[in-house]
Amino acid sequence: MAHSASSTITAAAPSKVEGIKERSNFLREPVASELLLDTNYFSEDAIQILKFHGSYQQDDRDQRVRGQEKKYSMMLRTRSPGGYIPPELYLTLDRLSGDYGNQTLRATTRQGWQLHGVLKKNLKATIAAIVKSMGSTLGACGDLNRNVMAPPAPFRNDPAYAYALDYANKIADLLTPQTGAYYEIWLDGEKAISAEEDPAVKAARQGAGPGKGSLKGSEVEPIYGTQYMPRKFKCAVTVPGDNSVDLFTQDLGLVVIVDGDGQLEGFNVYAGGGLGRTHNKEETFARAADPIGFVAAADVYDLVKAVVATQRDYGDRVNRRHARMKYLIHDWGVKKFREQVEKFFGKKLEPVRSLPPFKYEDFLGWHDQGDGHYFLGISIRNGRVHDVGDLKLRSALREIVETFNLPMLLTPHQNVLFYDIKPGDRTKIDGILQKCGVATVAEIDPLERYAMACPALPTCGLAITESERALPGILERIRALTVKLGLGDEHFVVRMTGCPNGCARPYMAELGFVGSGPEAYQVWLGGSPNQTRLAKPFVQRLKDADIETFLEPMLVFFKRSRQTGESFGDFCDRVGFEALEEFSKTYPLGSGVVKASRPNRTAKAGSATRHRIGVRDDLYGDLQAIAAERGVSITSLVNEAVAALLQKQ
Ligand code: SRM
Ligand code: SF4
More confident of the two residues 269 and 624: 269
Quick one: pLDDT at residue 58?
98
Is residue 592 predicted with pLDDT exceeding 70?
A: no
| DSSP of 314-380 | HS-SS-GGG-SHHHHHHHH-HHHHHHHHHHHHTSPPBPPPP-PPPB-----EEEE-SSS-EEEEE--
Q: Which of 204-218, 323-337, 410-424, 469-483 has the lowest mean pLDDT?
A: 204-218
Which residues are 368's β-sheet partners? 374
Ligand nearest to the CA of 459: 1
Which residues are 365's β-sheet partners? 377
More confident of the two residues 624 and 142: 142
Domain 149-345, second-level architecture: 2-Layer Sandwich (3.30)
Quick one: pLDDT at residue 5?
45
Quick one: pLDDT at residue 2?
42
Is residue 603 predicted with pLDDT exceeding 50?
A: no
Quick one: pLDDT at residue 200?
93
Is residue 594 predicted with pLDDT exceeding 50?
A: no
Is residue 139 predicted with pLDDT exceeding 50?
A: yes
Quick one: pLDDT at residue 570?
98
Task: Tell me how far apart the alpha carbons of residues 597 and 410 are, in angstroms, rounded to a whole number.
Answer: 39
Q: Which of 2-16, 285-299, 369-383, 561-575 has the lowest mean pLDDT?
A: 2-16
Q: pLDDT averaged over the chain?
A: 92
Quick one: pLDDT at residue 4?
46
Quick one: pLDDT at residue 216?
85
- pLDDT category of residue 591 using cuts at 50, 70 and 90: very low
CA of 624 to the centre of ligand 1 (A): 40
Residues of the chain with CATH 3.30.413.10: 149-345, 448-605
Q: Which strands sit side by side in the sheet containing 290-296, from one edge to the other? A: 235-238, 252-258, 264-271, 290-296
Supply the DSSP symbol for 218: -
Q: Could you report the per-residue pLDDT of 176-217, keeping only the tens digit for each? A: 999 999 999 999 988 766 667 899 999 999 876 666 778 887
Quick one: pLDDT at residue 645?
79
Is residue 78 predicted with pLDDT exceeding 70?
A: yes
Quick one: pLDDT at residue 214?
87
Query: How many other CB atoms are there within 10 angstroms of residue 356's CB atom?
Result: 8
Q: Could you report the per-residue pLDDT of 521-534, keeping only the tens digit for each? A: 999 999 999 999 99
Quick one: pLDDT at residue 635?
72
CA-to-CA dists, residue 322 to 63, 147, 228, 286, 471, angstroms: 33, 22, 16, 12, 30
Q: Which residues line ligand 2 (CB under 6 A)?
A: 454-456, 460, 462-463, 467, 497-499, 501-503
Mean pLDDT across 7-28: 86
Is residue 46 predicted with pLDDT exceeding 80?
A: yes
More confident of the two residues 196 and 162: 162
Quick one: pLDDT at residue 649?
47
* Alpha carbons within 13 A on the beta-carbon side of 101: 24
Report the sign of the C-alpha dihedral through residues 459, 472, 141, 250, in that order. Answer: negative
- pLDDT category of residue 596 using cuts at 50, 70 and 90: very low
Could you tell me what percent of the chain has a pLDDT over 70?
Answer: 91
Task: Return the active site residues.
Answer: 77, 146, 232, 234, 454, 460, 499, 503
Quick one: pLDDT at residue 218?
85
Quick one: pLDDT at residue 625?
67
Quick one: pLDDT at residue 493?
98
Mean pLDDT across 38-52: 98
CA-to-CA dists, residue 439 to 253, 331, 434, 452, 582, angstroms: 33, 47, 7, 17, 41
Phi, psi of 395 (to 5 degrees): -65, -40
- The amino acid that residue 402 corresponds to is E
**Which fold, 365-444?**
Sulfite Reductase Hemoprotein; domain 2 (3.90.480)
CA-to-CA dists, residue 219 to 26, 191, 205, 222, 379, angstroms: 11, 19, 11, 6, 45
CATH 3.40.50.300 fits 448-605, yes or no: no
Q: Which residues line ligand 1 (CB under 6 A)?
A: 56, 58, 75, 77, 108-110, 112, 114, 140, 146-147, 232, 234, 246, 249, 274-276, 324, 383, 414, 454-455, 459-462, 501-505
Note whether 265 and 352 are within 8 A (CB).
Answer: no
* Alpha carbons within 13 A on the beta-carbon side of 514: 30
Ligand nearest to the CA of 75: 1
Q: Which atom of ligand 2 is nearest to the CA of 464?
A: 7
Q: Could you report the per-residue pLDDT of 531-551, keeping only the tens digit for each? A: 999 999 999 999 999 999 999
Q: Which atom of ligand 2 is nearest to the CA of 498?
A: 7
- pLDDT category of residue 36 using cuts at 50, 70 and 90: very high
Quick one: pLDDT at residue 209?
65
More confident of the two residues 465 and 628: 465
Quick one: pLDDT at residue 632?
64
Burial 617-639 (b: 16+ CB within 10 A, else e): eeebeebbeebeeeebbbbebbe
Task: Tell me how far apart the alpha carbons of residues 571 and 59 are, in angstroms, rounded to a whole number.
Answer: 42
Is residue 453 predicted with pLDDT exceeding 80?
A: yes
CA of 454 to the centre of ligand 1 (A): 8
Q: Could you report the per-residue pLDDT of 225-263, keeping only the tens digit for each? A: 999 999 999 999 999 999 999 999 999 999 999 999 999
Mean pLDDT across 349-356: 98
Q: Which atom of ligand 1 is nearest to the CA of 78?
A: 33
Sequence-ordered alpha helix ranges (H) in 135-268: 159-174, 181-187, 199-206
Is residue 629 predicted with pLDDT exceeding 80?
A: no
